[in-house]
Structure 1
């Protein structure tokens, strides 16, 4: 099948910057411009609006200087206005060579915002376009509110397009400015236009107010549009623009007749950088670039992946420079744990695996998030517990800490089947626990080992809050030895380490 090349224009630096609370610095804009064109291989970038600020001017100047040196100046575009040439003068000073001229694509906007007739608007546009040509500036034209124009004032839209196609312009840009189109309308409207103007290049610019932007892009492509406007992470005003990563995956997987040049394996890298620059977080479940989208949580899915990749689809994480993960939690099961163990180079027998699985389920029931980096500590804790016969059992305890009062602990403990209960105060909750324990052992004429070191840490590399490990070194007359406790609560992990010590001695 013969493929049709479609241009991808990224407007993260212009329309994406209209995300509430987002502003790129000049150096950030230059860094992203280079990445978008050189690394991601988009065809064009829209980098700014003319006349906005001195900072915007400096950013555009730095981008055009770099692009000119790399032979990419015609890939850099600037939004301009029908203002008698003021925007064009700004562009000349900034070194830009392509304007995206903002015009009115609906009678509603023309009548109520500009308060002009079509003829008056067309005359103003004619002047700007010809002035741009005289200055060596290429013109593309935005029809703002075009989608509503097609719904409510088609006669005006076609009158406007009849006029535009007589001018020296390169592209007509069709924005769904308010994100109101359905995919049926997107296809129907663009088909009508391309059939009527077969020699003109048309771009589709989708917004996502109804979460239909990707569907609308698909239908716009089927209708024959020649270019798409997208943003990294779907950034943009209100609900944002059509997201670059999702559209690239959809085109590559479902529209074999369409050819685009975007490098899939760089999508995630650029997505994370844009997020870092803007502080605009990526939802964990956002397709392609979200943290969770290549993570299997259910154990049955991991088991299926072991059996001929039953839960894989065509969105393989390696395409996007990512890896598949297997979550650890109450629904993960043995298969997920085995997948993580393989990555760590660890093996367990069936009995050990069952015990580790049960411990992870217990943590999941507490709504704790367990990561692969926590796994060796859980294994160590569970297997360590098998090294001794449990003659001492800490059955229950109450830890209290109140302002102005010393911490206290009430402890219930069983030693060789005999139950004890004691209460004590201390300098902290764990100190109070140890003091209560000393009372019990004193009754039995027993002496506790001396606590000589106490350390708390989270598993190195872990980004979860599921676990903290308490390591306590004890001293008897014969030797020093160490026990470890693992829990989401620091004091509880210390008590678990102490319980191990009691059984060892």
Structure 2
């Protein structure tokens, strides 16, 4: 099957809405924007941004995207149908979704008569009116509507005639897509296949989508079954994040659909970004990556010792179902000194740096990277630190300043809320030692303020830098108070954002590393060279 004749599957990512309902996962507006831009680069055509009528953070997210739109993806706002016994025109939730300013909107309605009667306590006919009125109102105001049929499969199994009525109502009201949702995640693949086939026979020439949850550990299999039965939109999340047991994992669905089944989801050069995107999102949401995840996990193409290694070295097909490079991953053979060189070379190229395997600097970068990773560093979500690491090995890292020492003092009183912290730093700039102190509402803020105060006279543009996000992860919690900490600091200058990382058994030291590199990287961006020109290494 040629690429041009491959049937199209439309990807719909709901990481920023359904994914954030995972227990223990929390994101800021900046986090959501970073993830949205990564999904845009990946080539996902639909990105669900959130529910602006229910979450003030989501309102700000949509406002931000109105001033800084994505390059390619359609961002959708999410909402329910109007409430019983009201009108769509007077429904505050629908006004909020309109204010989000998206061309596409997604609304969900009830498919299961149990939910209609016992959940929202209304009549079956009023539920149909809610679906019809909401969609017609949004269409009247120029919006394209994706209709999510909530609890569809449970509703169909309980009362197929009424469940189909809800879909027919949505189609007649003007919905562009009908998405069948396995909201409770209890349906199995053979049931999905049969029910989706029933719907395609009942609703001729309607664009169908599938939205599956993973409560039975079959979300990916269910989505694949739905596609093979006629669905042409697949909804899911990066890394399968979601409420309870999660959603269908797009990091597994995309390669299964495109590489295994021959559907067209994204471009081949974009699917090669899949592993990087998976790790990037895990770092942004501050959750440890699943190293054993299919396709994108660090161990997905790892081989160690014995028969496997010798076989893979002769022919990778012996123990690999696809080429790891297809999804942006890499083969890892523990005893091979060549493992990882290609990834370093490819990553360097994204920073305008041309490396080759013969250059000693390439090996030095790789060995340094391995050593730091073993200490707990993670560079997928902190590419600014990785670029600084590379430039140091190449001798092109500029020394803007040198921190000679710092102290942080916090005022703490039992039973009283005292947030003041005082940081003192000593830095050397252009041969001069500068000693400065500053206060902040915490030790990291105070340290950041003291560094800026010491550097501002030498680098005035440092006033434009902002510390926009700060995350800490305990890497070995079993060690108690001796645990090692990884700190991620995101900075911005109004046009660009960058993230740096520090690791230490001392949380302040880890934070200090990340803050210092954040300032250094921002200065490098403002100075221009060597970052804005390609560095060719022979």
Please name the residue that 1:45 is paired with: 47
Map 1:67-216 to 2 at 5 A: 67=69, 70=71, 72=73, 75-83=74-82, 84=88, 85-216=91-222
Rounded Cα–Cα distance in structure 2 between residues aligned with 1:114 and 1:279: 36
Query: Does the CA-based 8 Å contact 1:183-1:216 persist in structure 2?
Result: yes
Q: Kindly tell me: are residues 173 and 341 of structure 1, through their superposed partners in 2, closer, same or farther at Cα, counting changes over 3 Å?
A: closer
Please name the residue that 1:261 is paired with: 266
Residue segments in structure 1 that go unaligned for 5+ positions in a row: 328-336, 345-370, 375-462, 465-505
1:217 aligns with 2:219: no
**Could you list the per-position Cα deviations for residues 397-422 of structure 1 after superposition, in whole angstroms to 9, with x for gaps in the alignment?**
xxxxxxxxxxxxxxxxxxxxxxxxxx
Query: Does the CA-based 8 Å contact 1:50-1:91 persist in structure 2?
Result: yes
Query: Does the CA-based 8 Å contact 1:91-1:97 persist in structure 2?
Result: no
Q: Kindly tell me: are residues 341 and 261 of structure 1, through their superposed partners in 2, closer, same or farther at Cα, counting changes over 3 Å?
A: closer
| Matched residue SS, 1:246 | helix
Rounded Cα–Cα distance in structure 1 between residues aligned with 2:338 and 2:137: 67
Please name the residue that 2:277 is paired with: 270
**Could you list the per-position Cα deviations for residues 59-94 of structure 1 after superposition, in whole angstroms to 9, with x for gaps in the alignment?**
121124333x7475xx11111122333222112322
1:56 aligns with 2:55: no
Q: TM-score scaled to structure 2, two decimals?
A: 0.59
Map 1:396-415 to 2 at 5 A: none
Rounded Cα–Cα distance in structure 2 between residues aligned with 1:119 and 1:92: 26
| Matched residue SS, 2:76 | strand
Q: Kindly tell me: are residues 341 and 40 of structure 1, through their superposed partners in 2, closer, same or farther at Cα, counting changes over 3 Å?
A: closer
Rounded Cα–Cα distance in structure 2 between residues aligned with 1:190 and 1:63: 35
Please name the residue that 1:18 is paired with: 21
Query: Does the CA-based 8 Å contact 1:33-1:63 persist in structure 2?
Result: no
Per the TM alignment, residue 162 of structure 1 is displaced from its structure 2 partner at its CA by 2.4
Please name the residue that 2:337 is paired with: 340
Q: Which has the larger radius of gyration?
A: 1
Please name the residue that 2:32 is paired with: 29
RMSD of Structure 2 on Structure 1 (CA): 2.3
| Matched residue SS, 2:178 | strand
Please name the residue that 1:438 is paired with: none
Rounded Cα–Cα distance in structure 1 between residues aligned with 2:314 and 2:117: 64
| Matched residue SS, 2:44 | coil
Please name the residue that 2:323 is paired with: 316
Rounded Cα–Cα distance in structure 2 between residues aligned with 1:64 and 1:250: 34
Q: TM-score scaled to structure 1, two decimals?
A: 0.63
Q: Kindly tell me: are residues 197 and 221 of structure 1, through their superposed partners in 2, closer, same or farther at Cα, counting changes over 3 Å?
A: same
| Matched residue SS, 2:34 | helix
Query: Does the CA-based 8 Å contact 2:303-2:332 persist in structure 1?
Result: yes
Rounded Cα–Cα distance in structure 1 between residues aligned with 2:107 and 2:316: 50
Query: Does the CA-based 8 Å contact 1:294-1:323 persist in structure 2?
Result: yes
**Could you list the per-position Cα deviations for residues 305-345 of structure 1 after superposition, in whole angstroms to 9, with x for gaps in the alignment?**
23333534232221122221123xxxxxxxxx3x237879x
Query: Does the CA-based 8 Å contact 2:13-2:48 persist in structure 1?
Result: yes
Please name the residue that 1:244 is paired with: 250
**Could you list the per-position Cα deviations for residues 340-369 of structure 1 after superposition, in whole angstroms to 9, with x for gaps in the alignment?**
37879xxxxxxxxxxxxxxxxxxxxxxxxx
Query: Does the CA-based 8 Å contact 1:65-1:95 persist in structure 2?
Result: no
**Could you list the per-position Cα deviations for residues 27-84 of structure 1 after superposition, in whole angstroms to 9, with x for gaps in the alignment?**
22122212212x10011111101322322210121124333x7475xx1111112233
Structure 1 runs (4+) deviating above 6 angstroms are 341-344
Per the TM alignment, residue 214 of structure 1 is displaced from its structure 2 partner at its CA by 1.4
Rounded Cα–Cα distance in structure 2 between residues aligned with 1:71 and 1:231: 18
Q: Kindly tell me: are residues 309 and 89 of structure 1, through their superposed partners in 2, closer, same or farther at Cα, counting changes over 3 Å?
A: closer
Rounded Cα–Cα distance in structure 1 between residues aligned with 2:61 and 2:298: 31
Query: Does the CA-based 8 Å contact 2:295-2:329 persist in structure 1?
Result: no
Please name the residue that 1:449 is paired with: none
**Could you list the per-position Cα deviations for residues 477-503 of structure 1 after superposition, in whole angstroms to 9, with x for gaps in the alignment?**
xxxxxxxxxxxxxxxxxxxxxxxxxxx
1:293 aligns with 2:296: no
Rounded Cα–Cα distance in structure 1 between residues aligned with 2:370 and 2:281: 27
**Could you list the per-position Cα deviations for residues 251-303 of structure 1 after superposition, in whole angstroms to 9, with x for gaps in the alignment?**
123212x2212521111121112111112222221112222112102321111
Rounded Cα–Cα distance in structure 2 between residues aligned with 1:310 and 1:195: 41
Per the TM alignment, residue 104 of structure 1 is displaced from its structure 2 partner at its CA by 0.4
Q: Kindly tell me: are residues 305 and 103 of structure 1, through their superposed partners in 2, closer, same or farther at Cα, counting changes over 3 Å?
A: same
1:235 aligns with 2:247: no
Per the TM alignment, residue 186 of structure 1 is displaced from its structure 2 partner at its CA by 0.8
Query: Does the CA-based 8 Å contact 1:7-1:227 persist in structure 2?
Result: yes
Query: Does the CA-based 8 Å contact 2:147-2:178 persist in structure 1?
Result: yes
Rounded Cα–Cα distance in structure 1 between residues aligned with 2:286 and 2:164: 42
**Could you list the per-position Cα deviations for residues 452-483 of structure 1 after superposition, in whole angstroms to 9, with x for gaps in the alignment?**
xxxxxxxxxxx99xxxxxxxxxxxxxxxxxxx
**Could you list the per-position Cα deviations for residues 160-189 of structure 1 after superposition, in whole angstroms to 9, with x for gaps in the alignment?**
222222111111111110111111011100
